[in-house]
């Protein structure tokens, strides 16, 4: 059972694809990091918020048939790794698509969707999923 606070903390990343950019080397990170793991101390005070581009291409994918508890209602469902236009790799589910039609290189974009709910009266989790970018 996830708490409301836990859900709220992740809103910038999960809802808006907010990451960070290192002002020292220019590398973009998602989810956000308080300092750059490459530049370390050099990057302190130079890390900026960065809104990631929602568009990208499928880098790899899988159709999940054996799902964990939280996703058992969805199965089978597709997960993808996406290389976005910032060059950043992202992972998430892919929806609004015939799972047999997914292929590497397919153009996709991130949209906000319901992820799952903590029972009937629980917190509903929202976050990004990918759809075909037609």
Partner 1 sequence: MRDVAIIGVGATAFGELWEKSFRSLGIEAGMKAIEDANLSGDEIDALYIGNMSAGRFINQQHVDALVADYSGMATNNVPATRVESGGASGGVAFREGVLAVASGLHDMVLVGGAEKMTDLDDPAIGSIMDSTADAEYEAGLGVTLASNYAMIARRMIHEGIATREEIASVAVNSHFHGELNPGAQFRRAVPLETVLRSGPVATPLGMFDCAPISDGAAAVILCPLEDAKEHVDRYVKVAAVAQASDTLALFQRDSITEFRATQAAARRAYEAAGVTAADIDVAEIHDDFSVAGVMALQDLGMYAKGKAGAAFLNGETHFDAGKTAVNTSGGLKARGYPIGAAGVAQIVELAEQLRGTADKRQVKDAKHGLAQSVGGNGSAVTVSILEAI
Binding residue for partner 1, selected from 48, 51, 70, 107, defined by CB under 8 A: 70
Residues 6+ apart with CB under 8 A from 54: 17, 84, 109, 110, 111
Q: How far is the CB of 59 from partner 1 (least distance, A)?
A: 7
Q: Is 52 in the site for Zn ion (CB under 5 A)?
A: no
Strands of the sheet containing 47-51, edge to edge, are 28-29, 18-22, 47-51
Among Zn ion, partner 1, none, partner that 69 touches (CB below 5 to 8 angstroms by kind): partner 1
Site string for partner 1, 28-57 (x = CB under 8 A): -x-x--------------------------
Q: Is 68 in the site for partner 1 (CB under 8 A)?
A: yes
Binding residue for Zn ion, selected from 4, 11, 38, 63, defined by CB under 5 A: 38
Binding residue for partner 1, selected from 4, 67, 111, 124, defined by CB under 8 A: 67
- Write out the H or E segment, with its range, that includes residue 132: strand 124-132
Strands 77-84 and 107-117, bridge-based pairing? unpaired
Q: Is 93 in the site for partner 1 (CB under 8 A)?
A: yes
CA distance linking residue 109 with residue 112, whole number of Å: 10
Residue 43 DSSP symbol: G
């Amino acid at each position: 059972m996830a708490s409301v606070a836990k859900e709220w903390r992740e809103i910038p990343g999960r809802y808006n694809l907010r990451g960070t950019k290192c002002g020292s080397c220019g590398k973009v990170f998602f989810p956000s990091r308080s300092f750059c793991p490459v530049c370390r101390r050099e990057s302190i005070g130079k890390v900026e918020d960065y809104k990631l581009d929602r568009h990208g291409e499928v880098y790899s994918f899988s159709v999940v048939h054996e799902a964990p508890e939280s996703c058992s209602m969805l199965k089978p469902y597709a997960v993808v790794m996406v290389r976005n236009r910032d060059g950043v790799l992202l992972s998430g589910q892919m929806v609004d698509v015939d799972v047999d039609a997914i292929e590497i290189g397919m153009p996709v974009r991130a949209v906000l969707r319901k992820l799952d709910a903590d029972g009937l009266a629980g917190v509903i989790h929202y976050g990004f999923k990918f759809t075909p970018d037609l």
